[in-house]
Amino acid sequence: MTISALLVANRGEIAVRIIRAAKALGIRTVQVHSAADRDMLAVKMADAAIEIGPPSAAKSYLNIEAVLKAALESGVDAVHPGYGFLSENAAFAKAVTDAGLIFIGPSHEAISLLGDKVEARKVAMQAGVPTVPGSNGRVDDLDAGRAVVEEIGFPVMIKAAAGGGGRGIRIAETLADFERHFPQASAEALAAFGDGGLYIEKVITRARHVEVQILGDGVDAIHCFERECSLQRRRQKVWEEGPSVSLPADVRRALCDSAVALARSVGYRGAGTVEYLYDEQSGEFYFIEVNTRIQVEHPVTEMITGIDLVQEMIRIAGGARLSLRQEDVRLNGHAIECRINAEDPAKGFLPGPGTISTLNIPEGEGIRFDTMLYEGYQVPPFYDSLLGKLIVWGENRDACLARLAGALEHFEIGGLATTVPLHRKLAADASVKRADFHTRFLEPWLETAFPAASPVASVAPVLAKEKH
């Protein structure tokens, strides 16, 4: 079925990104929005806009009934969920298809299967993908958890089976830690996801976080190489790049091939990401999870492969087969993405919405800024603090870093504090320049880079954040 009109069931920069991709394909767009987002850029860009509720995401962007009503009344053929909100909600995907519309993403069965980390781990094992040592399924109580940690040893990570975004996760270094953290993790998982189920994984102490971009049409699947996302704060990605300089060529082939094998095993359709931990010391990699949607950092892959992933999602959802064979996908240069948030790193990443008074965005070859900002825009306080992503390409990593440093130097968002100063320091750091980092590198580094910062949690009342 050819898609002639689609509804964007999201907000912010990803809504803008989807609208641009749709317009390039000649597709009419309808943007839903809350009362707080009447003036957002995506509303101005779309062919039509429909208000679906008050500022609270629970009563607007997470309201399946309201989103579906808007889709049906506007006469669209399809719904694109973006990332966060309802993007990995199997019930929403099913409701869209049950209403006779196209869900731009995998089937609700695939979302349900791969969205549960325990079930996804089983799928990975069946597909021959290496997994982190841990529990074989959900751990129902503390006694069962003790048995697991006695077998695999410490440190361990207690994780929410249905979780993401760093919630419902605790690291235990000792049995006493484990006994204290287990009920806390379960309670947090229940509050955040409505599911208190947990599982346990061995902690890879100096791991790299590497993820493989996949595309599938329900019959075949390919990979678009990998991104490294090891620079994280509170398990939220801050800086992403591709390809990963930590991977030898043979490991890259094995890693990417394993992601394709997993995607084919479930008949995956659309764009997705298979995430891994890579142990640089042993050369081993381990499956973590699958993200059944487009990710915040997808532009990194677009910059190094030349593939428009959002357009590919739309084409596949409309019934097209993959337009690329694996041999058609080639790496070209290096790309780095910096997440620009409305947070003050000098004040413990305190979120601070406000009005954009000035906006000076660097331009030039190899520079891209995905955002929903414009001068005079009032950033609302109700959602995730992501303002946009600065993505820079270079012929190699050194050239990319040099271009990034120059772009950041001339980057200005006036009217509110942002994380631009953080990225300037990262781009100039000797360890970062050497790519000598891992998933536990950034937080100790921040204590030195921003010593006066108070330990304020980076939170928003309702998050549009991706899960990972």
For this structure, is 38 an active site residue? no
Residue 299 has pLDDT above 60, yes or no: yes
E-strand ranges in 156-206 read: 156-160, 170-172, 198-202
Q: What pLDDT score was predicted for residue 460?
A: 42
Provide the pLDDT confidence category of residue 394 given band limits of 50, 70 and 90. Answer: very high
Provide the pLDDT confidence category of residue 463 given band limits of 50, 70 and 90. Answer: very low
Residue 19 has pLDDT above 90, yes or no: yes
Neighbour count for residue 112 (Cβ, 10 Å): 18
- Across the range 399-422, mean pLDDT stands at 97
- The Cα 269–Cα 272 span in angstroms is 8
Q: What pLDDT score was predicted for residue 289?
A: 93
Q: What pLDDT score was predicted for residue 99?
A: 98
The residue from 293, 315, 339, 397 that is catalytic is 293
Provide the pLDDT confidence category of residue 462 given band limits of 50, 70 and 90. Answer: very low
- Across the range 141-165, mean pLDDT stands at 88
Q: What pLDDT score was predicted for residue 459?
A: 41
Long-range contacts of 361-368 (CB under 8 A, 24+ apart): 361/411, 362/406, 362/407, 362/410, 362/411, 364/407, 366/303, 366/392, 366/393, 366/394, 366/400, 366/403, 367/391, 367/392, 367/393, 367/403, 367/407, 368/299, 368/303, 368/392, 368/393
What is the dotted CATH code of the domain comprising 207-449?
A: 3.30.470.20
- Across the range 112-120, mean pLDDT stands at 90
Contacts of 8 (CB under 8 A, 6+ apart): 15, 18, 19, 29, 30, 31, 32, 42, 46, 80, 82
Residue 415 has pLDDT above 50, yes or no: yes
- The Cα 349–Cα 253 span in angstroms is 38
Q: What pLDDT score was predicted for residue 168?
A: 67
Biggest CA-to-CA distance, the chain:
59
What is the dotted CATH code of the domain comprising 133-202?
A: 3.30.1490.20
| Domain spanning 5-104, CATH class | alpha beta
Range in 125-139, 183-197, 297-311, 320-334 the model is least confident about: 183-197
Range in 43-47, 166-170, 235-239 the model is least confident about: 166-170
Q: What pLDDT score was predicted for residue 197?
A: 87
Token output for 277: 């931990």
- Across the range 50-79, mean pLDDT stands at 98
Range in 123-137, 188-202, 285-299, 417-431 the model is least confident about: 188-202
Q: Report the mean per-residue pLDDT for the chain.
A: 93
Contacts of 319 (CB under 8 A, 6+ apart): 1, 2
- The Cα 164–Cα 291 span in angstroms is 10
Which is nearest to 133 in space by CA: 152, 148, 149? 152
Range in 69-73, 280-284, 358-362, 441-445 the model is least confident about: 280-284
Residue 190 has pLDDT above 90, yes or no: no
Q: What pLDDT score was predicted for residue 167?
A: 67
Residue 163 has pLDDT above 80, yes or no: no
The residues spanned by each domain of the chain are 5-104, 133-202, 207-449
* Helices of type H across 306-436: 309-317, 397-409, 420-428, 430-433
Provide the pLDDT confidence category of residue 312 given band limits of 50, 70 and 90. Answer: very high
- Across the range 63-74, mean pLDDT stands at 98
Provide the pLDDT confidence category of residue 166 given band limits of 50, 70 and 90. Answer: low
